[in-house]
């Protein structure tokens, strides 16, 4: 355990500061090239540059390569390749508008390195009830999990700072849970994800200076999913991600097909006269977590973001309880 | 949702996991996996239906209050 301390500290410092120092010049370059989009949650025309994915992937690759130099685990290589593939898929979607099916299908392909490197255990562990062995089904689970976590984080990237802030909470929760289940090496491997998200949150929080874009959101989500698989904490990871899962579920169950947000005509949120967000009565608009939170009355963007963070912390606590329950058997 | 996940896990471990098929030679594991997969998909559909009902209940409650 103590021999893991130095790689953990070095990788976390590198993960944080690569993103922290690389994002401002990235913002400058994107501004010069006019890669900006309108912030849809502001009444006035506020333009924000994107994508922030390049600085996020740089922080992840740099920190994980350092960890590989120390630990030489195939799991790290699988995480790096899968996450990098997710970044490329997201970057293609940032540059060129792709069909709704493109990202799930391409992310399933991105999950293949996890299988090729054998960086998984086909036993699926559940709290209270123990382990179920599903060797063949688990391969399908791997191919499903990366698209699900990638698109789930992408779908919660709706307000300033929410995707990165939520990832800070979820990824540090996952790291704590990996320590609880005594999977120390993967816990160390997971830490850079939280620090990368934290550094990016500085520029993504309200008012955003940069959006992560699909390349950033898919990178964060795919790495989260890859860590869950190689760490054998799939169920715990799903619990920590529940608010984002609920958001995806609400969206899909209301539009009833896999579709890009930009293809939906009805907006789930409208503005009040005092610049607050309010749930729309438009029946064609998708149901989302934000709309559900706003069903209680209008709130500012910051208040909605903090409501999502509170849900993230609550789910994080449930995930930690779940991790402790892994050792309990009925 | 958390409770549904834990209950789903219980069903998977106690009922679905022990299912074995014999009499098909080398295909035993494959057929068993297909059966488990089909049951798992049915459970997921049931899970989604329960969540949909819960969602509608919460929305109606919020709108009425």
Contact A17, A197 (CB under 8 A): no
Instruction: Give percent of chain A above pLDDT 70.
Output: 96
Residues 6+ apart with CB under 8 A from A259: A100
Region A269-278: mean pLDDT is 83
Q: Does the distance separating the beta carbons of B59 and A287 come in below 8 Å?
A: yes
Q: What is the ipTM of this complex?
A: 0.71
Q: Which of A128, A134, A242 sits opposite B1 (nearest CB)?
A: A242
Residue of B nearest to A319 (CA): B2
- Looking at residue B16, its pLDDT comes to 79
Q: How confident is the model at residue A54 (pLDDT cuts 50, 70, 90)?
A: very high
> In total, how many domains does chain B have?
1
B29 inside domain: yes
Q: Between chains, do B6 and A127 touch, taking CB under 8 Å as contact?
A: yes
Residue A266 scores a pLDDT above 80: no
d(CA A79, CA A233) in angstroms, rounded, equals 15
Q: Which residue range forms the structural domain that includes residue B45? A: 21-65
- Residue B15 is assigned to a structural domain of this protein: no
**A213-230 and A53-71 are packed helices; what angle lies between their axes, rounded to 10 degrees?**
30
In three-state secondary structure terms, A123 is strand
Strands A47-49 and A123-126: unpaired
b vs e for A190-210, b when ≥16 Cβ sit within 10 Å of the residue's Cβ? bbbbbbbbbbbbebbbbebbb
User: Residue A44 has what pLDDT?
Assistant: 80
Q: What percentage of chain A has pLDDT greater than the value 90?
A: 65
The string of pLDDT tens digits covering residues B5-61 is: 888 888 888 887 788 878 877 778 778 878 887 887 888 788 778 877 777 777 777
How many CA atoms within 13 Å lie on the side-chain side of A208? 33
Span A158-198, pLDDT tens digits: 899 999 999 999 999 999 999 999 999 999 999 999 999 99
Alpha carbon distance A268, A63 (integer Å): 38
pLDDT above 70 for A261:
no
Q: Residues A154, A262, A298, CA angle at the centre, nearest 5°?
A: 80
Average pLDDT over residues A308-318: 95
Min Cα distance B36 → chain A (Å) is: 8
> CA A45 to CA A43: how far, in whole Å?
7
Angstrom distance (rounded) from CA A170 to CA A238: 10
Which residue of A141, A233, A242, A253 is the best one to mutate when testing the B interface, meaning the one whose CB has the most B CBs within 10 A?
A253
Interface check for A328 against chain B (CB to CB < 8 A): the answer is: no
Report the DSSP beta bridge partners of residue A287. none
Residue A161: partners with Cβ closer than 8 Å, 6 or more residues away: A201, A204, A205, A206, A208, A305
Q: Is B13 domain-assigned?
A: no
- For chain A, strand residue ranges (E) read 36-38, 47-49, 123-126, 130-133, 269-271, 277-279
Put simply, whether B3 touches A (Cβ < 8 Å) is no
| B41 in any annotated domain | yes
- CA dist A233 and A119 (Å) reads 13
Give the residue from A165, A217, A250, A211 showing the smallest Cα distance to A40. A211
Chain B environment of A235 (Cβ under 8 Å): 5, 9
Domain contains B31 = yes
Q: Does B13 touch chain A (CB under 8 A)?
A: yes
The answer to the question of residue B40 being in a domain is yes
Give the pTM.
Answer: 0.90
Test the B interface: residue of A125, A140, A234, A295 with most B CBs within 10 Å: A295
User: Would strands A47-49 and A36-38 be described as parallel, antiparallel, or unpaired?
Assistant: antiparallel
A296 touches chain B (CB under 8 A): yes
Q: Tokens in use for A135?
A: 């060797």
Q: Mean pLDDT across the stretch A266-281?
A: 81
In a domain? residue B6: no
Task: Decide if B57 is inside a domain.
Answer: yes
Instruction: Point out the least confidently predicted range of A16-25, A109-118, A124-133, A209-218.
Output: A124-133
Q: How confident is the model at residue A302 (pLDDT cuts 50, 70, 90)?
A: very high
Is residue B61 less than 8 Å (CB to CB) from chain A?
no
Rounded distance, CA A311 to CA A329, Å? 28
Q: Which residue has the tokens 């749930």?
A: A279
- B33·A126 Cβ contact <8 A: no
- pLDDT at residue A287, rounded to an integer: 81
Instruction: Report pLDDT for A237.
Output: 95
Cross-chain Cβ contact A295/B14 below 8 Å: no
List the single residue in B33, B48, B62 with the smallest CB-CB distance to A136: B33
Is B12 close to A127, i.e. CB distance below 8 A? no
Chain B residues with CB-CB distance to A322 below 8 A = 2, 6
Strands (E), A67-143: 123-126, 130-133
């Amino acid at each position: 355990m103590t021999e893991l301390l130095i790689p953990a500290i070095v990788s976390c410092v590198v993960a944080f500061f690569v993103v922290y120092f690389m994002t401002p010049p990235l913002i400058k370059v994107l501004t010069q090239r006019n890669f900006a989009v309108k912030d849809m949650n502001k009444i006035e025309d506020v333009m924000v540059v994107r994508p922030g994915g390049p600085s996020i992937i740089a922080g992840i690759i740099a920190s994980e390569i350092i960890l590989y130099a120390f630990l030489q685990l195939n799991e790290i290589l699988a995480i790096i390749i899968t996450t990098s593939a997710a970044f490329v898929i997201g970057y293609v979607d940032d540059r060129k508008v792709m069909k709704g099916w493109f990202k799930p299908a391409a992310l399933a392909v991105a999950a293949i390195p996890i299988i090729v490197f054998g960086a998984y255990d086909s036993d699926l562990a559940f709290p209270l009830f123990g382990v179920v062995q599903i060797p063949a089904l688990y391969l399908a689970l791997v191919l499903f999990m990366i698209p699900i976590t990638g698109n789930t984080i992408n779908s919660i990237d709706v307000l300033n700072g929410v995707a990165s802030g939520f990832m800070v909470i979820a990824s540090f929760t996952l790291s704590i849970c990996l320590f609880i289940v005594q999977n120390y090496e993967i816990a160390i491997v997971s830490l850079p994800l939280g620090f990368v998200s934290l550094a990016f949150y500085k520029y993504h929080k309200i008012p955003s200076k940069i959006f992560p874009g699909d390349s950033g959101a898919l990178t964060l989500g795919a790495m989260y999913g890859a860590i869950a698989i190689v760490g054998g904490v799939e169920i715990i990871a799903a619990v920590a991600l529940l608010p984002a899962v609920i958001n995806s579920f609400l969206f899909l169950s209301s539009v009833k097909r896999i579709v890009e947000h930009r293809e939906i005509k009805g907006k789930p949120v409208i503005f009040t006269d005092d610049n607050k967000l309010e749930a729309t009565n438009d029946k064609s608009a998708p149901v989302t977590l934000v709309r559900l939170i706003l069903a209680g009355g209008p709130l500012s963007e910051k208040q909605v973001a903090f409501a999502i963070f509170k849900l993230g912390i609550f789910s994080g606590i449930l995930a930690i309880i779940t991790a402790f329950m892994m050792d309990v058997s009925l | 949702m958390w409770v549904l996940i834990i209950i789903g896990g219980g069903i998977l471990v106690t009922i679905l996991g022990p299912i074995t098929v014999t009499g098909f030679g080398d295909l035993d594991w494959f057929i068993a996996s297909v059966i488990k997969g089909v049951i798992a998909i049915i459970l997921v559909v049931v899970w989604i239906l329960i969540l949909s009902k819960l969602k509608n209940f919460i929305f109606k409650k919020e709108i009425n209050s």
